[in-house]
Structure 1
């Protein structure tokens, strides 16, 4: 992807830093910066600048986009079902900010935001936390006693200030580790000092959820320290937590009351009652909830009926717990939307916590920290019903996510030092074979093609690009691929099908890894391309094993769906780059190929002694395949082509087991 102009990059950097750095000073600064960044992203998207520059849109970013949009859509449906309630409309207005997520991703990707920029922006939040405290000290003429007497909120809600100051401080500390790894010790020392100070200031808010979140946030720092120091860190974290609890007057009083009198502190007691009300509301309306304004009206009605005291009128806006609040207002879809919003980013970032590429590893820690922090904060607060909380979460995830995949793409810099043989088996593949072999040459020193009697120009075309081309009989997929493997001389083997392509991004990644392999075999994620669309999910959710160290490896002798047999004890990893798979030329070819594979699958299972007694089993297996491809693997995100693909694979599964059932029928009739 080509670089952007320095001016446009600087504008995006300035807006990101203004938004994050000024968030606790004025939520309007964050809102304005977010809107301007989103508008710039919309302009880039409209002009298709990124795609024209060759951007290979990561499917992980699409999955993040789904999480944010799904949350908003569930809220919109909930508001509609309750009859467009006024109070619910205000909540929907807050949730509507999530529609800006993809424009933000586009803006940050276009500006090529990297790890250093993200961590400097987080550091500005720590600077603002310190500045807020200093300004209050100056205004009070150094009277620290007055400041310490009350919960410090920096001019906003103490809970919001405490939670976000802690998160900003911890992200700044992660940035300190990043700059230390980047051999910029002075910057690293400054960030660690600022982050630690901001985290300490956050404790002045006396926010209990801070103490709940603190050990989990500290644990996430462990991947960033050396292995020798990790054990020390595990002992240090409990000591830090005990110190934080014992120095918190509010927490100490709560614990004393619980131990001495067996009573919860009044605030916690009220929260438990609120949670009970929200749980009851969900149980009464489990499928769709009571509506975005339903919880508010429920509390107001309970107070009016004398079931709750008037003090609960302060808690009408939300249930002080993200999960219960979404369950009460939006039912099961609300629970699902909250789960996606928290855990999809957590899982995607968490996968790279121990990345060998330092910028990616530090960004992964930061991204995971944001999700874990919001999970903990949401135990006692409805964070996603507060515009400041919600907007910060969106900006953090968008900035860190965009920077992470930009860094990963830029990390493939090494030159391959192992020899590679590419093996391809063919029959009547003249439409595909040239492009397949050209892409294979990006990573292969030797290309071997075994053809099984093509009647078109496949063999002639293959001889233009391959080193070895032979025509053989057709013994089945497994045996034919084994024959090709036996002709390979490279240290590593890349086994391709004729309708597959190695993308330039994947080629760079393979060459990078084969400079110093960290595994004995690699899976290459599919990107099925069909009917003019590249599928990122559904059937593309698979990552077939394609690249492996040659020694000791063989193919199974299966007629279809052969397996690569890797000796036990060898390590297998999955790469990020996409293996483009042009699985069908058109719908007619799809039907033809599907029928062929289904029947070969029936024969293979019959050969192994498998059997199907009734037609119920093929039907159930077909339905299960559809559910797996379309829902579990998020095939619905691939649109109408994703639906057609799910139905096609469900039909293949049904046909395979129905065919197996028919193979038993003649024998029964003879008996």
Structure 2
């Protein structure tokens, strides 16, 4: 079978970015070719065969992109598949290429160096376009600077992308500084700063709003001692930039002198009002993808708004939030928010990562999301094909490189002694795999068996250092017993149906080479019916790894807690703790009933009460909403739905059981 050359894919990525400001067709063509390569790799299952495990964060970002397209399609369908709406959908539909792009770029193995080289080509193209324009005017600076420079395209689009490209290039320059590669570091910083300066010739006011936000994102990449000086420098740069912007200066003068905004802002405010009125008319569905255009045309015809609005602003509402609200209602607002804030949350959590490539990519990804958030205040960026395709390709490249770097960032060996503790009963199907996985990070393994009637204890003795058979006093007390037998500096507390994945093992060993916390939470990956769940109940990250000194377990019968001394730092790792919750549906029902009843007894022991059956019903419903919707359990398909219903049932049974415990029993009634 013929394989795609790895080097070709990064080349396409760089071509798309470098050619974006020369021609949007270059950007679109490179994106399409990369997507075709990704689709081919998906059908061949090339990444699966290499053992690639899909990060749940990428699945979440994928949801954000296709949800935006889905909402747009529904809006188009509800308005009757109009021509105007179809054009907008054609632009939005490009976002469904996100996953093929992720596959192609992950397959290529592109990392920080390749990503920042590609991003630097954006700045290089900005400079080339500017020099070409200057040469066309025979070097006449005054002619060039007396107009809003747009490099042959819309000045707003040029200015926004040039600013973002310049700041991303500076971020790459700082990465090469940290990598001790002075030549590329110097070149990137010079090219990046030059591109930022050129972007200001577009006289785009949103650039002046975005600039301080983008500059502030650079602060985590410099030493703490320099951050105050850096913040002062940012303030000086922003003030100087605004002072040298003729367009912004005139706007401020008009505002101070007459209390009025300039004409372009007046138009925008009027357009925003129209969009908001359209939203209020149909908040649940919006007016349709072409509804805003029809609304403006009707308002102009009726004389409700000036003719100039019809000449300039029929395509979109010059604001992402309001444009999506007007055309798609509340679902449109959600789709826009997901498209901006889900990537922002994925990248921003790694900004302070000690691994330099990861931290710099995280800053770059946060810049893109932040830039589009700010640009979207005065433009409908996702209704412009250049803006949307640029966002799609850059986000795919940065996300792919981020998780490639994260996998490469865990390489150190732990320097502390770790004891793994496991409690078990009738777990012969699980115990061997559990203990073998624990050995990846543990020097000592302790198993307490609560009187199993199968071969659990016998199998455990093949892998564990200490195996004891005891009575069953409840989860909390039993885990405390196991903890008291541990001798390691750190303790890993596992259940028999849990596994430490190789990726998590590398991460644990890496962190324990120089611990940056006193305890770590390990995110669950519930695995049932042949499917790994990434969301819903898997959204939880139980505390499992901690310094032994001063720690104990609560004495709860079920849902015990690890009691960490006050003041100790707790962090959450990325790697997944695989959790095989039950063998089959029958076992699920049995286990759920057991846990629900133990939970009822525990709450009753603590004096809790529920007086009506309304409360158990509401709690069950709230659990379903939390697991299935708030924690995105619906992304796990049919198994995710079944899991949400199961947990809702457990919650209902727990509080219903508590209600029965507060009722008089047959034995204490007065009977005739």
Report the TM range for the smaller structure's normalisation: over 0.9
SS of alignment partner, residue 8 of structure 1: coil
Provide the C-alpha distance between the structure 2 equivalents of 1:8 and 1:650, rounded to a whole number of angstroms: 49
1:341-352 matches, cutoff 5 A:
341-352=339-350
Separation of aligned partners in 1, 2:488 and 2:221: 37
Task: Give me the whole-angstrom Cα distance separating, in 2, the residues matched to 1:260 and 1:660.
Answer: 69
Aligned to 2:372: 374
CA drift of 1:139 comes to 1.2
The reply on whether 1:60 has 2:57 as its aligned counterpart is yes
Aligned to 1:271: 268
- The CA distance in 1 between the partners of 2:421 and 2:190, in whole Å, is 55
1:341-420 alignment, distance < 5 Å: 341-420=339-418
Distance 2:352 2:409 in 1: 15
Separation (CA, whole Å) in 1 of partners of 2:273 and 2:425: 66
Q: Work out which of the residue numbers 567, 576, 597 in structure 1 matches 2:565.
A: 567
Question: Which residue does the alignment assign to 1:585?
Answer: 583
Gaps of 5+ in 1: none
Q: Point out where structure 2 has 5 or more consecutive residues left out of the alignment.
A: none
Deviation at 1:361, TM superposition (A): 0.5
State which drifts further: 8-17 or 268-277: 8-17
Alignment partner for residue 497 of structure 1, among 495, 498, 513?
495
Residues 624-647 of structure 1: CA distance to partner in whole angstroms, max 9, x if unpaired? 000000000000000000000000
- 1:90-239 → structure 2 map (5 Å cutoff): 90-239=87-236
Q: Partner of 1:34 in structure 2?
A: 31
Q: What displacement does 1:666 show?
A: 1.5
C-alpha distance in 2, partners of 1:165/1:614?
62
- SS across alignment from 1:465: coil
Superposition deviation, residue 309 in structure 1: 2.2
Q: Secondary structure at the residue paired with 2:641?
A: helix
Match of 2:492, SS state, is: strand
Displacement after TM superposition at 1:262 (Å): 1.7
1:469-520 CA-to-partner distances (Å, cap 9, x unmatched) read 1100000000111111111111111100000000000000011111111111
Q: Deviations over 1:442-461 (max 9, x none)?
A: 11111111001111111111
- Please, which moves more after superposition, 258-267 or 518-527? 258-267
Aligned to 1:618: 616
Q: Distance in 1 between the 2:45 and 2:458 partners?
A: 39
Whole-Å separation in 1 of the counterparts to 2:75 and 2:10: 37
Task: Give structure 1 regions of 4+ aligned residues with deviation exceeding 3 angstroms.
Answer: 667-671
Aligned counterpart, 2:592: 594
Looking at structure 2, the residues matched to 47 and 9 of structure 1 have their Cα atoms a distance apart, in angstroms, of 15
Find the residue that maps to 1:430 and give its secondary structure. coil
Name the SS of the counterpart of 1:584 in structure 2: coil
Count residues with an aligned counterpart: 667
1:328 to 326, 329, 335: 326
Matching residue of 1:666: 664
**What is the CA-CA distance between 1:316 and the residue it aligns to?**
0.4
Q: Counterparts of 1:519-668 in structure 2 under 5 Å?
A: 519-666=517-664
Q: For residues 547-600 of structure 1, what are the alpha-carbon distances to aligned partners after superposition, in whole Å with 9 as ceiling and x for unaligned?
A: 111111111110000001111111110000000000010000000000000000
Match of 2:444 in 1: 446
SS of the residue corresponding to residue 591 of structure 2 reads helix
Determine the structure 2 residue equivalent to 1:465.
463
1:429 aligned partner: 427
The separation in 1 between residues aligned to 2:84 and 2:38, in whole angstroms, is 31
SS in 2 for 1:423: strand
TM-score (norm 2): 0.98
Q: Does 8-17 or 380-389 show the bigger shift?
A: 8-17
- Let me know the Cα RMSD of the aligned residues: 1.1
Q: Deviation string for 1:36-70 (max 9, x for gaps)?
A: 11111111111111111111110000000000010
- Which one is further off, 175-184 or 255-264? 255-264
Alignment of 1:242-253 (within 5 A): 242-253=239-250
Q: CA deviation at 1:285?
A: 0.9
Give the structure 2 partner of residue 295 of structure 1: 292
The answer as to 2:513 corresponding to 1:515 is yes
Question: Secondary structure in 1 aligned to 2:138?
Answer: coil
| Separation of aligned partners in 2, 1:531 and 1:220 | 43
- Distance in 2 of aligned mates of 1:494 and 1:670: 49
C-alpha separation in 2, matches of 1:44 and 1:501 = 30
Match of 1:9, SS?
coil
Deviation at 1:670, TM superposition (A): 4.2
SS at match of 1:292: coil
